[in-house]
Amino acid sequence: MLRLIGRPAPATTVLIIINSLIFAYGMLSHSQQQIIVHYGFVPDELFRGNSALLSDSIMRLFTSMFIHANITHIAFNLFALAYMGGSAERSVGIPRFIALYSLAGLGGALLYGAVASYILLNGNILLIGASGAISGVLGIAAAMGDIRGYYWLAIQILFAFIGSFAALTIAFMAHVGGFLTTLLVTKAMIYHERRKRRWHSDAFST
């Protein structure tokens, strides 16, 4: 089980294993391209498609988070998850970490998809990878007070702007969306916890 600093990180470990197994299966069975085509997220199918494609598009929002194009793609993502996931998981707890990771993946895909379909008009290009969800791990860290997360966000926004003109293949807007999703949700959770503690403190002091 993954242990970088402090207690083990079971949820992060499981996520790394799931991503690795799916990639290994695709490569060993020579079906990686078919997996990408059938389970990657196509923005236009959700934002511009007909209602018959809606359920399939929603499923692809989830499945696309566990698919990677090549060894370099998955290696960078899983290294980042292993490096950052443990501390984020210990900060918010396993159930919340899993929920926030999933929300970040969805938020990243939706922001990327909306920009691709309505602004860049290239929403027919498949989106795959765990980058949006993993960016959400940085969003958790930023919400907890790590200012370096905001520097990373600024860089992603800059690259997203450059990429819209330079035709870069990295979906930087998915990174931005994943980060912002967990940043806002985690801050809301912190605010709620503080209000609850303050209420308990006031209740017992009266």
- What mean pLDDT do residues 47-53 have? 77
Q: List the domains of the chain with CATH numbers.
A: 10-205 (1.20.1540.10)
pTM: 0.88
Residue among 110, 80, 122, 78 at smallest CA distance from 174:
110
Cα dihedral across residues 166, 170, 171, 176: positive or negative: negative
pLDDT of amino acid 192: 86
Query: CA 190, CA 135: separation in Å to the nearest integer?
Result: 19
Reported as a single tens digit per residue, the pLDDT across 58-113 is: 999 999 999 999 999 999 899 989 988 988 999 999 999 999 999 999 999 999 99
pLDDT of amino acid 40: 95
End-to-end CA distance of the chain: 46
Reported as a single tens digit per residue, the pLDDT across 116-164 is: 999 888 899 999 999 999 999 999 989 988 888 888 888 888 887 776 6
- pLDDT band of 177, cuts 50, 70, 90: very high
8-state DSSP, 41 = B
Query: CA 35, CA 26: separation in Å to the nearest integer?
Result: 7
pLDDT at 6 over 80: no
pLDDT at 7 over 80: no
- pLDDT band of 196, cuts 50, 70, 90: confident
pLDDT of amino acid 152: 84
pLDDT of amino acid 4: 47
How many CA atoms, within 13 angstroms, populate the side-chain half-sphere of residue 170? 17
- 93 sits in the region (left: phi over 0; alpha: psi -120 to 50; else beta) called left
